[in-house]
């Protein structure tokens, strides 16, 4: 049965080769799948940041520093928001019949943009690690505020992702 399936696939590939534009469409679909997988990788990294922050917030609560509950809550909400933004972002390629289609130069720009997001998430992870080490210090509130600012900057950068796809500014 495996030989029949392989032979059928070879025949289908030969037929598809003769359909104008199909090979490019197939490459774009694979890029779309790759884009989705990479974004899920970024989501998992963001969830890792959130897990570390969960531990930090639990320790802060255990210490009884109630003044920090408001910034902690804001950080939780913003981490959830950026994680969902990455998770549900448009794919790097629109479907064959969609109004907006992304060409290869835009896809390359989008991939480079997404790679830079990975570095930004690494910086968030470093900041939350510093928070975890500073639980007993007086600098905890400024560190929380700095972490919150970093999340805001990451979120602002995410808003620029659509510009990579469409080339149209979001009005900012």
Q: Is residue 12 part of a domain?
A: no
Residue 101 backbone phi and psi in degrees, to 5: -115, 145
Q: Is residue 15 part of a domain?
A: no
Asked if residues 132 and 56 have their Cβ atoms less than 8 Å apart, the reply is yes
Q: Is residue 71 part of a domain?
A: yes
Domain extent for 151? 26-166
Q: Is residue 18 part of a domain?
A: no
Q: Report, in angstroms and rounded to the nearest whole number, the Rg of the chain calculated over CA atoms.
A: 22
Q: What is the pLDDT of residues 77-108, one digit of tens each?
A: 999 999 999 998 776 544 443 434 556 666 67
Q: Is residue 6 part of a domain?
A: no
**Tally of structural domains, the chain:** 1
Q: How far apart are CA 63 and CA 60, in angstroms?
A: 5
Tens place of pLDDT for every residue, the chain, 172 residues? 556 666 666 665 666 555 555 555 566 667 777 778 888 999 999 999 999 999 999 998 888 888 888 999 999 999 999 999 999 877 654 444 343 455 666 667 777 888 899 999 999 999 999 998 988 778 888 999 999 999 999 999 988 877 776 665 554 4
Q: Is residue 9 part of a domain?
A: no
Q: Is residue 108 part of a domain?
A: yes
121: domain CATH number is 1.20.120
Residue 125 has a pLDDT of: 96
* Confidence (pTM): 0.74
Q: Is residue 7 part of a domain?
A: no
Residue 16 has a pLDDT of: 58
């Amino acid at each position: 049965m495996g030989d029949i399936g392989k032979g059928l696939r070879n025949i289908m590939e030969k037929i598809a080769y003769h359909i104008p534009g199909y090979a490019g469409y197939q490459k774009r679909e694979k890029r779309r799948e790759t884009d989705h997988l990479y974004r899920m990788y970024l989501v998992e990294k963001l969830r890792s940041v959130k897990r570390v922050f969960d531990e930090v917030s639990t320790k802060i609560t255990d210490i009884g520093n109630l003044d920090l509950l408001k910034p902690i809550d804001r950080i939780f909400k913003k981490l959830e928001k950026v994680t969902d933004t990455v998770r549900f972002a448009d794919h790097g390629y629109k479907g064959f019949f969609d109004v907006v289609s992304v060409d290869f130069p835009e896809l390359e720009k989008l991939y480079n943009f997404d790679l830079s997001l990975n570095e930004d998430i690494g910086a968030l992870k470093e900041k939350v690690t510093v928070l975890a080490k500073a639980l007993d210090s007086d600098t905890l509130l400024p560190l929380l505020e700095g972490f919150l600012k970093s999340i805001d900057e990451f979120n602002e950068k995410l808003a620029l992702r659509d510009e990579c796809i469409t080339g149209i500014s979001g009005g900012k």
